[in-house]
Amino acid sequence: MIDSLLDVTVFTRVVSAGSLSAAARELGMSLAVVSKRLARLEERLGVRLVNRTTRSLNLTEEGTEFHARCVRVLGEIGEAEEKVRSLRHGASGLLKVTATAAFARRHLGRLIPRFLERYPDIRVQLDVSDSVVGLVESGYDVAIRFGALPDSGLIARRLAPNHRVVCGAPSYFARKGRPQRPADLKNHDCIAFGNPPNQDWQFEGPGGETTTVRVAGPLVSNNGEVAHEWALEGGGLVLKSIWDVGADLEAGRLEVALPNYRVPAAPIHAIYPHTRGVAAKVKVFIEFLGGELHAAYRWDGMERVENTTSR
């Protein structure tokens, strides 16, 4: 039974890692052992779970169904173990968190050490990515996400408000002029970023009217921090979170492009799997983060910046 459980664990890790070699590195096993365990699992079930080529790995129909059930079962086992540990020791264990690179560097980098001072029995693994990763499939306890959330069966806890602004460097405005309305952005260099890049910018006007503008420009990146740096260097206009550019707006390194138009808000949420009981380490992390982010929003200048950039 234990050996079968290990085979299942290897299978789910192969799926989340995207390849046998990546799964082998994550599990600390040899590629041969991972391949053997996957083959043994398929032989025992009598079906092929994955189609493997030198460049890709795709689940079969049977593999997709089996993987979904395995993830649920392994999640329940992990939940049971965590529940027992938390009952005995309180908040403890490894907490796996994923967030965007910019937010992690500017905010989580300073907050997580404070969190560990309060909860020394918890260890934190923070992975940064501007792509949306599968929370359950990748084994994360918490994801920090912005804006509208898909109906994914996950639980979302709002941590703090967050508005976005279109902004650029003074050097850009001196060279290109200032847009007066969203439609003017079609004649400006706009920096798109994300995976895929967001090139459809939405606005609400002074009278409540809404409009969407398809923007373009010579600079596109899958990384928000790179887009931020390009804007600071005068490379174009960028649509960014107040949490990312608030300090630059206050210091005058960036200026708001369309102060009379509001971009839809994108509140900060903590996302975590829907389980029968939230692990103590997850609960205390979310409570800590919510309190700290609200304090930062009020006292680090972002509230003042927002009040000057939104109606």
Report the mean per-residue pLDDT for the chain. Answer: 85
* CA distances in angstroms from 49 to 8, 36, 63, 68, listed in the order given: 11, 14, 4, 12
Please check the confidence at residue 173 and state whether its pLDDT lies above 50. Answer: yes
**CA 100 to centroid of chain Cα atoms:** 5
pTM beyond cutoff 0.75: no
Q: Give residue 162's pLDDT.
A: 86
Same domain, 242 and 192: yes
Q: d(Cα 302, Cα 299) in Å, to the nearest integer?
A: 7
Residue 88 has pLDDT above 80, yes or no: no
For residue 58, the enclosing domain spans 2-82
221 and 247 inside one domain = yes
Q: How far apart are CA 266 and CA 163, in angstroms?
A: 6
- Tell whether the model's pLDDT for residue 275 goes beyond 70: no
Residue 7 sits in a domain whose CATH number is: 1.10.10.10
The per-residue pLDDT for 299 is 36
* Residues 201 and 244 placed together within one structural domain of the fold: yes
Query: Is pLDDT at 187 greater than 80 in this prediction?
Result: yes
Q: Are residues 230 and 192 in the same domain?
A: yes
Q: Is 218 inside a domain boundary?
A: yes
Give pLDDT tens digits for 127-162. 988 777 777 777 889 999 888 776 567 888 999 888
How many Å from the N-terminal Cα to the C-terminal Cα in the chain?
62
pLDDT digit string (tens) for 197-236? 889 999 998 888 899 999 999 999 988 899 999 999 999 9
Percentage of the chain modeled with pLDDT above 90:
43
Asked if residue 22 and residue 44 are part of one domain, the reply reads: yes
- Residue-level pLDDT at 91: 83
For residues 212 and 138, membership in a common domain is answered with: no
Instruction: Give the model's confidence band at 242: pLDDT under 50 very low, under 70 low, under 90 confident, else very high.
Output: confident
DSSP three-state, residue 216:
coil
**What confidence score (pLDDT) does residue 16 get?**
85
Same domain, 95 and 126: yes
DSSP three-state, residue 174? helix
Read off the pLDDT of residues 299-311 as tens digits, 9 standing for 90 and up: 344 444 555 444 4
The pLDDT of residue 215 is: 95
Mean pLDDT of 30-49: 91
Domain assignment of residue 310, yes or no: no
Cβ neighbours, 10 Å, residue 291: 12
| pLDDT level of residue 280 (50, 70, 90 thresholds) | confident
Q: State the pLDDT at residue 1.
A: 57
* Predicted confidence (pLDDT) at residue 72 exceeds the cutoff of 90: no
Q: The domain that contains 247 carries what CATH number?
A: 3.40.190.290
CA atoms within 13 A on the CB side of 286: 21
The number of folded domains in the chain is 3
**Residue 33 belongs to a domain:** yes
